[in-house]
């Protein structure tokens, strides 16, 4: 019997069926150990020694693998066929060797690009050793990400309060988004005019031709720059006679695109399906690991983290055969198509993403897949099969027309295309991202019959005014495309990098466009000013290239780390002398359009509008950056830093009188503070204040609304069963009602002011029936996911702080934005495993011992190049625990001799 190790339980179950009783297939649940988020996990002074930590959940998995191995003949490592998969196999083997569980048993590494019986059995027949250079490349990447995240993030915390983290890939991706926003802000729109004529052939057919030359000069796209020029040319066209000069019909062949890579799949899924990058990878993971097709679990696509564009020879043959069956013999090209990658620094060795079986059409799988799985499989199947189909044959016709009026001449051109043979277009057509230009002419339409030297009649002349537009903001898809072009990141990192930018609140997504938040722009401006080299595109790409050379065995991984660390450490040390004034001066200059937007009256945007003499500047507070006046405290003007420059953000904090409180006769004012607009009653420290709730703008606040806000909390009435008061109010988590220390959320702000006693009692009863999360009562399950490998049901539930997955006493919060109804068992298991590892109790002695030693700021990066940062809270927690232990001991000790005697007796 052999023990086979894979990553996920879904794969383990499927592969076990393929291999039969002679094998025990166990899941590692991804990585079995990681660098702990604490100082010293990577030690540059000890030749970059790395200290690995195994959490409790992973330790149990390793114990299971070790127990199975005791009675096994050998170990087969069958993790994913990429750098991360190779690293997982290396970690598993290293741990087993340290526990002395391997002995002289044979160890082999197998890889398969698809979870099908043939692919798995072929892999088992061709084992190899662990690829050491590939593991070295993983170790180098992991160390680099850790060193950047752990050393750079604390600099941000000290010099730029409110910033969350920085990272080797994350910060460069953020710079791309911020640089595009700066381009948009600096963009100056220019006027231009397009002129065209609607003409009629002698046969009565209309067509449109655009002006391309006049008076012997070639006109470029925006050559006509004002209305005067446009009027002159329009007058020429209005008075001209028109003759067809030449008609040229030219056959053009259009070839299909290669099958999907990770990045092109994410781009196409965004354009055609509206999927985010993370959603695309979640669905693709399920298709790869396999789904139940009438009693048999089958992997439907090949491995989905790749930048390879070639398909295996047998897959090409299968695709060509399926093309003949599905579309006909004419759609099968004479020779198979071969592709080579154009991605910078492409290094993945495996295939493009394709169906494992081209005979499984989307229609045949419709009843086995959910909606998202079917849509993504349909996309992959069509692109895969189209990549081996015949070229589309297009006839492109160009008509040149001469216009003459007196001694003036102009040239016009009409272009049309006709598809003579659709070829691969019958299966798949590309869809352009917003802002991209079409290059195929397919949307040019068809021209009527036009003959050379014939006269055409003018029907109408059009002169349309336009203005140049700034470059479009990045979408997730276009940002991934740009990162790939620059050689930044790798297939396994794109989705997680984008997720990190959202989670850190550095960017927001609005209508599928990435908009940098003020916090993100501050971080980028800081890094560009003081760590410019490490957010340069070329530098990051060259580092990726070095990592690829390590994986090819061309470079020593520790040499690369030494070269990087020498300069990076020096840069970090230099910032210790950096004064906050230096930081603010740099940020004021770098972010001037954001911080000091132009004023309508043309006045200096840096002069304070309240005192008229102070100079506005960025200020750094506990909760981040804001704009304040240099005359503080005499002038207390402050303004929030906004990424969209809206009127609310630009509002002065000079109090705006709304009227008086009828009961106290105190003045009620509307103000704007560091944390946003608020209403205030009275003056001084005792004045009552209330922030404006979400959705309420300063312009909408009147005396009545201000009184309502300042009256909160509002007493609704006594509960009929307990006799205790029910009240309503606004809290951190939105509008609520409160009874006997228990909260229940209500739907809208208006409910706080209008909800009656009967409905309040009903809302409280409904909340009680669901059970308060964390107090022993069960919260109703939204969805049941199945059994945990260790026994017990896994469910999705909705708690006070949002949806989470539950297994026994372990609760794991779902990622921000994740639809709880779409969670799968495979997605839930790693979340629970991670949470179980973090929930390990700390012994009192250990806490007490640690309390004496100040905790250091902690930061780390996860294995795919994104960063995890933990703020320095450990010391405070340890101090509190030690204090509690001391008090407990003191309470247990009798205070007097009499008490001691009584206790003893």
CA distances from 825 to 128, 302, 372, 780, 828 (A): 32, 21, 16, 18, 5
Contact by Cβ (8 Å): 423, 224? no
Q: Using DSSP, state whether 83 is helix, strand or coil.
A: helix
Helices and strands (H, E) in the chain, number of each type: 27, 34
Q: At 835, list the tokens.
A: 């949470």
215: left (phi over 0), alpha (psi -120 to 50) or beta: left
Q: How many residues are present in the chain?
A: 905
Taking CA atoms, 306 is separated from 193, 263, 386, 775, in Å, by 45, 8, 19, 46
* Distance in angstroms (rounded) separating the CA atoms of residues 167 and 187: 29
Task: Of 180, 175, 867, give the one whose Cα is nearest residue 513.
Answer: 180
**Half-sphere exposure at residue 565, Cβ-oriented, CA atoms within 13 angstroms:** 22
Instruction: Find, among 528, 479, 459, 409, the residue nearest to 171 by Cα.
Output: 528
CA distance 894 to 903: 8
Structure tokens at 51: 């200290």
Q: Residue written as tokens 């492109």?
A: 396
Helix locations, 72-196, DSSP H: 83-98, 117-124, 132-159, 170-186
Q: Is 20 exposed, middle or buried (0-12, 13-18, 19+ CB in 10 A)?
A: exposed
- Print burial letters for 218-232: b (CB count within 10 Å at least 16), e (below 16): ebeeebbeeeebbee
φ/ψ region of 234 (left if φ > 0, alpha if ψ in -120 to 50, else beta) reads: alpha
Q: Which of 138, 192, 303, 804 is catalytic?
A: 303
Residue 66: HSE in the Cβ half-sphere, 13 Å Cα cutoff = 17
Which token pair is 233?
A: 């040319």
SS3 (DSSP) at 573: helix
Tokens matching residue 541: 């790409």
Sheet holding 616-621, edge to edge: 616-621, 624-629, 638-640
Where b means 16+ CB within 10 Å and e means fewer, 709-731 reads bbebeeebeebeeeeeebbbebe
Quote the DSSP letter at residue 586: H
Tell me, letter by letter, the H, E, C secondary structure of 168-236.
CCHHHHHHHHHHHHHHHHHCCCCEEEEEEEEEECCCCCEEEEEEEEECCEECCCCCCCCHHHHHHHHHH
β pairing state of 392-405 and 191-200: unpaired
Helix (H) or strand (E) run with residue 829 in it: helix 825-838
Helix (H, G, I), strand (E, B) or coil at 726: strand
Helices marked H in 269-350: 277-289, 313-326
- Tokens describing residue 838: 């973090």
Closest CA to 166 of 178, 148, 146, 147: 148
Sole residue written with tokens 């298709």: 287
3-state SS, residue 373: helix
110, 396, 480, 778 from 488: Cα distances, Å: 29, 38, 9, 46
303 included as an active-site residue: yes
Q: Which of 730, 788, 722 is nearest to 755 (CA)?
A: 730
**767 phi/psi in degrees, rounded to 5:** -65, -40
Residues with catalytic function: 303
């Amino acid at each position: 019997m052999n023990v086979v190790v894979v990553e996920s339980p879904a794969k383990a179950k499927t592969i076990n069926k393929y291999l039969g009783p002679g094998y025990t297939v166990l899941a590692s649940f991804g990585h079995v150990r990681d660098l702990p988020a604490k100082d010293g996990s990577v030690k540059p002074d000890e030749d970059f020694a790395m200290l690995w930590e195994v959490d409790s959940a992973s330790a149990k998995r390793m114990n299971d693998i070790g127990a199975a191995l005791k009675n096994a003949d050998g170990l087969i490592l069958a993790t994913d066929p990429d750098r991360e998969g190779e690293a997982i196999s290396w970690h598993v083997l290293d741990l087993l060797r340290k526990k002395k569980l391997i002995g002289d048993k044979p160890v082999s590494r197998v890889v398969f690009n698809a979870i099908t019986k043939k692919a798995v059995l072929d892999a088992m027949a061709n084992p190899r050793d662990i690829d050491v250079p590939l593991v070295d490349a993983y170790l180098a990447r992991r160390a680099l990400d850790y060193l950047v995240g752990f050393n750079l993030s604390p600099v941000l915390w000290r010099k730029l309060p409110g910033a969350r983290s920085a990272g080797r890939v994350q910060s460069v991706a953020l710079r791309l988004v911020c640089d595009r926003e700066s381009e948009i802000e600096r963009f100056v729109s220019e006027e231009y005019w397009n002129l065209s004529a609607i003409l009629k052939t002698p046969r009565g057919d209309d067509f449109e031709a655009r002006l391309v030359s006049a008076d012997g000069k070639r006109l470029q796209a925006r050559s006509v720059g004002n209305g005067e020029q446009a009027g002159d040319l329009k007058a020429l066209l209005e008075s001209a006679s028109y003759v067809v000069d030449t008609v040229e019909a030219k056959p053009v062949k259009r070839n299909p695109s290669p099958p999907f890579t990770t990045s092109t799949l994410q781009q196409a899924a965004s354009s055609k399906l509206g999927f985010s990058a993370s959603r695309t990878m979640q669905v693709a993971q399920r298709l790869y690991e396999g789904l139940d097709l009438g009693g048999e679990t089958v992997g439907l696509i090949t491995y989905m983290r790749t930048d390879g564009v070639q398909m295996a020879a047998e897959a090409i043959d299968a695709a060509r055969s399926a093309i003949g069956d599905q579309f006909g013999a004419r759609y099968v090209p004479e020779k198979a198509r071969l592709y080579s990658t154009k991605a910078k620094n492409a290094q993945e060795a495996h295939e493009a993403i394709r169906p494992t079986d081209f005979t499984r059409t989307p229609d045949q799988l419709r009843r086995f897949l959910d909606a998202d799985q079917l849509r993504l499989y349909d996309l992959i199947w069509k692109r895969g099969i189209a990549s081996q189909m015949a070229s589309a044959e297009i006839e492109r016709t160009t008509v040149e027309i001469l216009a003459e009026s007196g001694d003036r001449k102009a040239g016009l051109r009409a272009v049309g295309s006709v598809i003579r043979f659709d070829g691969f277009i019958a299966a798949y057509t590309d869809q352009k991202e917003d802002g991209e230009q079409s290059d195929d002419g397919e949307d040019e339409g068809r021209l009527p019959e036009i003959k050379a030297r014939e006269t055409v009649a003018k029907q109408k002349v059009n002169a349309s005014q336009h203005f140049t537009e700034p470059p479009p903001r990045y979408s997730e898809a276009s940002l991934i495309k740009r990162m790939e072009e620059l050689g930044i990141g790798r297939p396994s990192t794109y989705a997680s990098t984008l997720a990190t930018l959202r989670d850190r609140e550095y960017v927001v997504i609005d209508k599928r466009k990435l908009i940098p938040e003020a916090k993100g722009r501050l971080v980028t401006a800081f890094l560009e000013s003081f760590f410019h080299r490490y957010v340069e595109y070329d530098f990051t790409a060259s580092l990726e290239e070095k990592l690829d050379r390590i994986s090819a065995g061309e470079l020593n991984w520790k040499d690369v780390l030494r070269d990087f660390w020498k300069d990076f450490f020096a840069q970090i040390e230099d910032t210790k002398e950096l004064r906050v004034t230096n930081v603010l001066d740099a940020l004021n200059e770098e972010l001037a359009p954001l911080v000091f937007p132009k004023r309508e009256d043309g006045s200096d945007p840096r002069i304070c509008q309240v005192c008229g003499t102070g100079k506005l500047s960025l200020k750094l507070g506990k909760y981040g950056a804001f704009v304040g006046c240099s005359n503080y405290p005499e002038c207390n003007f402050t303004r929030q830093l906004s990424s969209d420059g809206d009127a609310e953000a630009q509002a002065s904090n000079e109090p705006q009188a709304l009227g008086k409180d009828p009961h106290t006769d105190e003045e009620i004012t509307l103000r704007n503070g560091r944390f946003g607009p608020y209403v205030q009653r009275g003056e001084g420290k005792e004045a009552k204040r209330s922030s404006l709730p979400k959705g309420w703008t300063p312009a909408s606040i009147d005396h009545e609304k201000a009184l309502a806000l300042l009256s909160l909390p509002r007493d609704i009435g006594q509960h009929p069963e307990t006799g205790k008061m029910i009240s309503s109010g606004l809290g951190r988590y939105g509008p609520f009602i409160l009874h006997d220390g228990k909260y229940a959320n209500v739907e809208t702000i208006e409910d706080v002011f209008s909800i009656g006693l009967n409905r309040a009692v009903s809302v409280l009863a409904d909340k009680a029936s669901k059970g308060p999360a964390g107090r022993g009562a069960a919260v109703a399950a939204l969805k049941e996911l199945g059994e945990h490998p260790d026994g017990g049901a896994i469910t999705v539930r909705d708690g006070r702080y949002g949806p989470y997955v539950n297994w026994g006493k372990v609760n794991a919060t779902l990622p921000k934005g994740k639809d709880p109804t779409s969670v799968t068992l495979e997605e839930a298991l790693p979340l629970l495993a991670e949470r179980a590892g973090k929930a390990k109790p700390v012994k009192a002695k250990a806490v007490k011992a640690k309390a004496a030693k100040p905790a250091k700021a902690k930061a780390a990066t996860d294995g795919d190049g994104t960063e995890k940062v933990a703020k320095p809270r450990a010391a405070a927690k340890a101090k509190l625990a030690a204090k509690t232990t001391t008090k407990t001991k003191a309470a247990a000790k009798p205070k007097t001799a009499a008490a001691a005697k009584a206790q003893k007796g």
